[in-house]
A = this chain, B = another copy of it.
Amino acid sequence: MKPTTRKEEIIFQASQLFKEKGFSAVTMRDIAQLMGMKAASLYNHIEGKQEILSILILDLAKGFTSGMREIEQMKISPLQKIEKLIELHIDITVNQSEALASLNNDWMHLEDQDLEEFVRMREDYEEHFRNIIKEGISVGQIQPRHPEVILFSILSTLRTLYLWYQKRGKLDVNILKRDMVAVLLRGII
């Protein structure tokens, strides 16, 4: 996530602000100030505030979608697929925690087709995740509890990991993966 073009740099700086205060509370003037320019100048590079949000969220959502597709096609057990999904979330958290904040908290401020596309992708993602859990239950690898509770419990932890990852002084990613997989799959007792 190293911004190369001017446009990417604007989107990157905006994402920092969106994470701190939320999309609605961030102004074009705030973003311009971080860029060291005036708000009007931003419009030479981007269409507007909405475009920034849309790029941030939809690009990231596509990352989750393609990651899910790859994992689904692997010839491994359902439980191993869930481990891979946990690792996917951790990798994305580490590399794109700002965009993740927008995806979690500001998706409802997307407009029209962007909003529809996002909601569709998210439902799709959850549906595939749920199916992997169900398969794990049916082959006896996972406890026969309500798949929805399991899905929610894992996803909510992974989705809010970005809030916590940097507070704790950047744990080593591999240690984090190992401990997280252990806690989520095997519990704490």
* Chain A residues packing against B (C-beta within 8 Å): 20-22, 24-25, 79, 105-106, 108-109, 141-143, 145-146, 148-150, 152-154, 156-157, 159-161, 163-164, 168, 176, 179-180, 182-189
Contact = CB atoms under 8 A, between A and B. Distances in A.
B188 A145 contact: yes
Give the dominant DSSP class at A's interface. helix
Contact of A187 (B148, B156, B185): B185
25 contacts: A21-B24, A21-B108, A22-B105, A22-B106, A24-B24, A105-B105, A141-B189, A142-B189, A143-B186, A145-B182, A145-B188, A146-B179, A148-B168, A149-B183, A152-B164, A153-B184, A153-B188, A156-B156, A156-B159, A156-B161, A156-B163, A157-B157, A159-B160, A183-B187, A185-B189
